[in-house]
Structure 1
Amino acid sequence: MNIQEINLYFIEMELLHAFSTSYGTVKNRELILVEVKDEVGITGWGEVVAFSTPWYTEETIQTCFHILENFLIPSLLGKNIEHPSEVTTLFRSIKRNHMAKAALDCAVWDLYAKREGVPLSTLLGGTRKTIEAGVVIGINELPVMIKTIEKHVQEGYKRFKVKIKPGNDYEVIKGIRQHFPTLPLMADANSGYTLQDIDLLKRLNDFHLMMIEQPLDSDDIIDHAQLQKQLKTPICLDESIVSYEDARKAIELGSCQVINVKIGRVGGLSEAVKIHDLCKKTGIQLWVGGMLESGISRAHNIALASLPHFTIPGDISASSRYWNQDVISPEVTLSDGEILVPTSAGIGYEVNESYVKQLAKQVKIYTL
């Protein structure tokens, strides 16, 4: 396939509810939707999932645009590609900038799957017909969080992740666990703690959490290994794992028992599948994380989560969890806590292009 055209749609979507973590609060979500077209007019879609400010990683929407326009798009446009895995090689000389790379990587995977006439999940090696869905609960007053959890329990979600931060942790988890004694519950610290907080983190052992996600620095692997030795609760690494090599080193050091794979964070589907295969080989538990995405990225997450070793429900909620209207049709829906893996070619959802253009604050078109 030859990439003849690449289009960027700068959109902004308002979340139904403000979402708070230890880093801050998000209400309006800026995104860049990426459309690639081949020589016969077939289209694939990806999405830049970086945030407007560099609170999760160093990337932002604006830095991703700079990298896409000046480096990545020129490297891809007009290239003959036999398989999507070649995109990683094309971008190898450009350091990091994983979320910018992932947007194009995913779009090419979608395009390739459509050309082959097969679902993206099948192309990646997926085996599941449905995936179990988890949900994230942002920081709020405890009664509000409990009410939110009750609502999502009724909707059938299979795993509940609660955001915590220093000063808003032990009592929050205690209150939730008292109200929901058997809830599949985990805590996400978003790098809010240090080894000086080890006694507090040990106290969380009392609540039989599935895991505590990324308690220490976002670029740390060494201290997490020390912490894991002293915790009964499994540590899950998120921000620390931005590549296959990071995953390999963390596993060898004993830094975690679980890894959260976010396609944008690791640079695309090709790298995500490599991490899946490594964790399957080494027995490390695995799940797919979310980034407050539109339905395009959510569709890629569904395809990835269909692989056999993603055994923990991921952060892949229904579209209606976040948006009044999503950019895909049909929207992602939930039934008894599960999401159907699409069986049509590519990501399995149609992009509502008229709605995308309505949302677009800017459109950039790149052709040969």
Structure 2
Amino acid sequence: MKLHAVDLRRIAMPLVRPFRTSFGVQTTREVLLVRVVTDVGEGWGECAALAAPVYSSEYVDGAHAVLRDHLVPRVLAEPDLTARGVARTLGGVVGHRMAKAAIETAVLDAELRAHDMSLGSYLGAVRTEVECGVSVGIAESVDELLAEVGEYVDHGYRRIKLKIEPGWDVEPVRAVREAFGDRLQLQVDANTAYDAASSARLEALDEFGLLLIEQPFAEDDLHQHAVLAGRISTPVCLDESITSARAVVEAVRQGACSIVNIKAGRMGGYLESVRVHDVCEAMGVPVWCGGMLETGIGRAANIALAALPNFRLPGDTSASDRYYAEDITDPFVLRDGMLPVPTGPGVGAEPRPDVLRALTIDVETLKR
């Protein structure tokens, strides 16, 4: 397959409500989309990077720059490019996994469309629909939190994830557990907000029967995660720390986690995500699919990934209306707590031209 051109498109997606985590508040999701034009058709990918380097070192402006100046020129120069060859082609550029994932996904989308194959089939999906959870940001008050959680429970979400930070942890978790009972699947996500001095707050969460505590400490602090895991009965899950199959082997070996959150952008793409899935399955470690407030492009691909056999917990896949009044693709609609795995060719979703035009703030085209 030969690439003729690559579009780097910036769009701004207003959120239906502010989303607050331990590293800040988002009211609009700025998204970088990658479109490839090849001799067999086109394909789309979505970069998971946020507007600022707060979740990871990557951010939208940086991803745009590295794609424009380094990654895209490399793939355009390839005389015969395949999705499985993208990682090798880009191997000379250190890091920038989210940017690499976006271009790899776009190439994979084009390749699969040319063969009339869905991403789910290609990755090894075993389900036709996936269980959905929802991520709930830090609220202004416990009453506001309970009202928001109540909405999602009424909508049918199978699992609730609460964002926490020191000072917003034990009390809100207790309030949600008391209000909705022990049958509610409940977990928390700290986004690296804790350290050894504040770990007692995390140990206090053990009484609430949580599915897991996600990434309480810094991404490079496997030791502290292992210490916490040895002190509590609640499973410790890693997110930011897991960037490859090799990283997950080391984390499990050290006892730092017993559950893994897989985000394709953080892994460098869906192909490495499948390798992480397979390694975790071999080690008896369940995985689930995390989210980065994706549009329908990234959401479709995440749902396909979440249909693999070792995704044993509801993910952050969520319906389109969880974040956006209008998605750039046909919306993903929750049905009995589930979303259907796309069956169309490629990722199974593509932008609606009118909506895409209305939300676009910039387009840059690079040609061979």
TM over 0.5: yes
How do 1:1-368 residues align onto structure 2 when only pairs under 5 Å count? 1-40=1-40, 42-81=41-80, 83-140=82-139, 141-181=141-181, 182-328=183-329, 330-368=330-368
Q: Deviations over 1:178-199 (max 9, x none)?
A: 1112210001011111122232
- Quote the Cα distance in structure 2 between the aligned partners of 1:220 and 1:2: 42
In the alignment, structure 2 segments of 5+ residues that lack a partner are none
For the 8 Å contact 2:134–2:317, the answer to whether it is kept is: yes
Quote the offset at 1:51 in angstroms.
Answer: 1.0
- Kept in 1: contact 2:288–2:314 (CA 8 A): yes
1:80 shift after superposition: 4.1
| Aligned partner of residue 100 in structure 1, secondary structure | helix
User: Any idea what the Cα deviations from partners look like across 1:74-96, whole Å, max 9, x if unmatched?
Assistant: 11114244641211111111111
* Preserved CA contact (<8 Å) 1:195 1:227: no
8 Å contact kept, 1:299–1:348 = yes
The range that moved more, 352-361 or 153-162, is 352-361
The 3-state SS of whatever aligns with 2:43 is strand
- Aligned-partner Cα distance in 1 for 2:4–2:184: 50
User: What amino acid does structure 2 have at the position aligned with 1:238?
Assistant: D
C-alpha distance in 1 between matches for 2:327 and 2:220: 33
> Structure 1 residues 142, 109: closer, same or farther in 2, change over 3 A?
same
* Paired residues of 1:4 and 1:78 also in contact (CA < 8 A): no
AA matched with 2:90: F
Displacement after TM superposition at 1:218 (Å) = 2.3
The separation in 1 between residues aligned to 2:300 and 2:169, in whole angstroms, is: 32
Question: Residues 165-215 of structure 1, C-alpha deviation per residue, up to 9 Å, x if partnerless?
Answer: 101110111111111122100010111111222322111110010000000
Q: In the aligned structure 2, how far is the partner of 1:220 from the partner of 1:296?
A: 33
Which amino acid in structure 1 is aligned with residue 339 of structure 2?
Answer: I
The answer to whether the Cα contact below 8 Å between 1:10 and 1:30 also exists between their aligned partners in 2 is: yes
Aligned letter for 1:292?
L
Structure 2 CA distance, aligned partners of 1:218 and 1:254? Answer: 14
Instruction: Decide whether the 8 Å contact of 1:136 with 1:160 is kept in 2.
Output: yes
Q: Deviations over 1:113-142 (max 9, x none)?
A: 111111110001111100011101110011
Query: TM-score normalized by structure 2?
Result: 0.97
Q: Closer, same or farther in 2 for the Cα pair 1:331/1:227, shift >3 Å?
A: same
Report percent identity of matched pairs. 38
Q: Secondary structure at the match of 2:339?
A: strand
The offset of 1:52, in angstroms, is 1.1
User: Shift of the alpha carbon at 1:226?
Assistant: 1.8
Structure 1 alignment gaps of length 5 or more = none
Aligned mates of 2:349, 2:79 — CA distance in 1? 26
Aligned equivalents of 2:311, 2:79: Cα separation in 1: 32
Aligned counterparts of 1:31 and 1:153: Cα–Cα separation in 2: 28
CA-CA distance at 1:23 after TM superposition: 0.8
Partners of 1:365 and 1:189 lie apart in 2 by 38
Specify the code of the residue in structure 2 equivalent to 1:366.
L
Q: Is the 8 A contact 1:184 1:209 kept in 2?
A: yes
Indicate the SS of the match to 1:350. Answer: coil
Deviations 1:238-291 (A, max 9, x none): 011112211111011111011101111111111101000001100111000000
Contact map agreement 2:13 2:359 (CA 8 A) in 1: yes
Q: TM-score with structure 1 length normalisation? A: 0.97
Runs of 4+ residues over 3 Å off in structure 1: 80-83
Distance in 2 between residues matched to 1:366 and 1:357, nearest whole Å: 19
Deviation per CA, 1:301-325, whole angstroms, max 9, x where unpaired?
Answer: 0111111111111101111111111
Alpha carbon RMSD of aligned pairs, Å? 1.1
